[in-house]
Amino acid sequence: MASRFCHRFLYQIAPACASWRMALYDKDNLPTRASLLRRVKNVQDQKSWEEFDAIYRKLIYGFAIKSGLTHEEAEDAVQETFAKLTEQLLEFEYDPERGSFKNWLRRVAHAQVVAQFRRRFKAGPPAPPRPGETTRTSTLQRAPDPSGPELERIWDEEWGAYLIRAAEDKVKRLVDPLQFQIYDLYVKKGWPSEKVAEMFSVPVGQVYMAKHRITELLRDKLQLLESKAA
């Protein structure tokens, strides 16, 4: 489940001061944006479609690649997913009580990934690899069963990673850029606190404080996104 993926992330970031929490509750920045879904029903609304593309293309591409498709196949799967979305969004009505946008998007993307596998199998076995292509061959051999539960697990992991990126993007806009840079180097890239402090000419205590504040923001924002987008 995506929730397990997110919870592993939450476990890794320490809880901190609750005074930062209220800045998180901005529903306009949730991954499932009802207003955006309404706007993209108009295929002539290029700006809204560019926003939709920026939000979901990486998610769908990552799902396709992790499922075992090549770069070219994954790009095709993304394009065909967006083509289907263009058609189906005209009829789609966002109603959390009837089902989540996440699951609807998964079904559309899953169908296009499966279609790419079917095309590959119809085309017959791949040509013998040229020198240096052993990794690609191994990837094809490890491709999951497109009709099995493996694709659902991959989607949940990609969705979890997407929620983390969305939370980080939101928090990055809320905090001082220097504080986020400190957090990024210390927490995400694993630099020693002393090295980070030296780089930015700040006390080591400020490195710990940046982690303390930003991880609290990320923790609450991620929980909010997960509860709204599940």
Q: Domain 2-13+26-166's class?
A: mainly alpha
Decide: helix, strand or coil at residue 39.
Answer: helix
The model's pLDDT over 148-191, given as tens digits with 9 standing for 90+, comes to 578 888 998 998 888 888 889 889 998 999 999 999 999 999 99
The model's pLDDT over 107-118, given as tens digits with 9 standing for 90+, comes to 999 999 999 999
pTM for this predicted structure: 0.67
Asked if residues 177 and 23 have their Cβ atoms less than 8 Å apart, the reply is no
The model's pLDDT over 183-225, given as tens digits with 9 standing for 90+, comes to 999 999 999 999 999 999 999 999 999 999 999 999 888 888 7
Cα separation, 59 vs 191, whole angstroms: 28
pLDDT at 143: 53
Please give the average per-residue pLDDT across 12-19, as a whole number. Answer: 41
Please give the average per-residue pLDDT across 20-26, as a whole number. Answer: 39
Domain ranges for the chain: 2-13+26-166
pLDDT at 90: 78
| Cα separation values, 169 from 24, 64, 198, Å | 12, 23, 26
* DSSP H or E segment with residue 73: helix 71-88
